[in-house]
Amino acid sequence: MKHGKKYVDSAKLIDKTKLYDTDEALDLCVKTATAKFDETVEVHVKLGVDSRHADQQVRGAIVLPNGTGKNIRVLAICKGENTKLAQEAGADFVGAEEMVTKIQNEGWMDFDVLITTPDMMALVGRLGKVLGPRGLMPNPKAGTVAPDIAKAIREAKSGKIEYRLDKTNIIHCMIGKASFGKDKLVENFDALLGAIVKAKPAAAKGQYIRSCVVSSTMGPGIALNPNKVGV
C-alpha cells in the first residue's frame, strides 16, 4: 500500500518498535495530524475477551471530559410531555410515528444518535434491521433508552460516546480532535480507558488490555504500552 508524502513524513516521527506512554503517544498524534482539516483522534483497544460469549461482552457509554469536538445530531423519538423536554434539551429532530415512518419508507438517516424513552421501544423496535447494522439502535447500556430524555440528550450533545466490542474483540472510539491538543486528549483518553477497565467482565481471564493504538484520521498508528493504560 502506497502512502502520500505527508503520511510518510509523519511516520518517520514514530518508532514502530516502541510502546509509548500516553502523554508521548498523544503528543505525537497531534504532531502527525497534518491534513488541511481538523483530524479526529481515535483509540483502538484489543481486549483479552471473547465477544462470542454473553458473559464476556464489554459495552457502555461515557461523557468525555472535553467532549468530542463533533456536532452531534440527535433524533428524539418520544410523546407527550417528553416532546417539549426533548426540544428544550436541544434535540435536532423530535417526533414519534412520523419519524419511524420517515426512516422506514424514505431511508432518512440524517442523525448521529437516536434517543428514546422505555415506553417507545415497541415503536422504535420496528427499526431494528435498519438501525442495528449502523450501530444506531437505542440501548439502555448506552444511555440512549432513558426515562429522563432531557438528560440523555444533553449528555449526547456534550460529548457522550459509546464503546463496544466488535467481532475481533477490539473497541474503536474517537476521543476528540487534533486541535484539542495533547492535554485535553489525554484527559479524554484516561476517562475512556478507565471506563473500559471498570467494565471488565468477571469471566475475562489473563491480560485484559492486549494492545492499544492511537491515530489521527490521516496519520500513522502509535502503539501504547498496554500495561500502563487504564490504570
- pLDDT by residue (tens digit) across 60-113? 999 999 999 989 999 999 999 999 999 999 999 999 999 999 999 999 999 999
Give 1's pLDDT tier (boundaries 50, 70, 90).
Answer: low
User: Residue 192: what pLDDT?
Assistant: 96
User: Residue 231: what pLDDT?
Assistant: 58
C-alpha–C-alpha distance, residues 224 and 96, integer Å: 45
Query: Taking Cα atoms as reference points, which of 231, 201, 199, 215 lies closest to residue 62?
Result: 199
C-alpha–C-alpha distance, residues 175 and 111, integer Å: 20
Integer CA distances (angstroms), 173 to 134, 161, 196, in order: 15, 8, 11
Give 3's pLDDT tier (boundaries 50, 70, 90).
Answer: low
| More reliable by pLDDT, 229 or 180 | 180
142-176 per-position pLDDT tens digit: 899 999 999 999 999 998 999 999 999 999 999 99
User: Residue 75: what pLDDT?
Assistant: 97
Residues 26 and 197: beta-carbon distance below 8 Å: no
Task: Flag whether pLDDT at 4 surpasses 90.
Answer: no
Give 2's pLDDT tier (boundaries 50, 70, 90).
Answer: low
Residues 170 and 45: beta-carbon distance below 8 Å: yes
Taken in order 6, 18, 169, 116, is the CA torsion positive or negative? negative
Query: Taking Cα atoms as reference points, which of 128, 129, 98, 91 lies closest to residue 113?
Result: 91
Average pLDDT (217-230) is 90
Give 8's pLDDT tier (boundaries 50, 70, 90).
Answer: confident
C-alpha cell recorded at residue 217: 484520521
- The burial of 217, by beta-carbon neighbours within 10 Å (0-12 exposed, 13-18 middle, 19 or more buried), is given as middle
Element holding 28 (H helix, E strand): helix 22-31
Number of H helices, E strands in the chain: 8, 9
C-alpha–C-alpha distance, residues 158 and 149, integer Å: 14
Give 141's pLDDT tier (boundaries 50, 70, 90).
Answer: confident
User: Residue 135: what pLDDT?
Assistant: 86
Ranking 3-12, 46-55, 102-111, 185-194 by mean pLDDT, the lowest is 3-12
| Mean residue pLDDT across the chain | 93
Average pLDDT (123-137) is 92
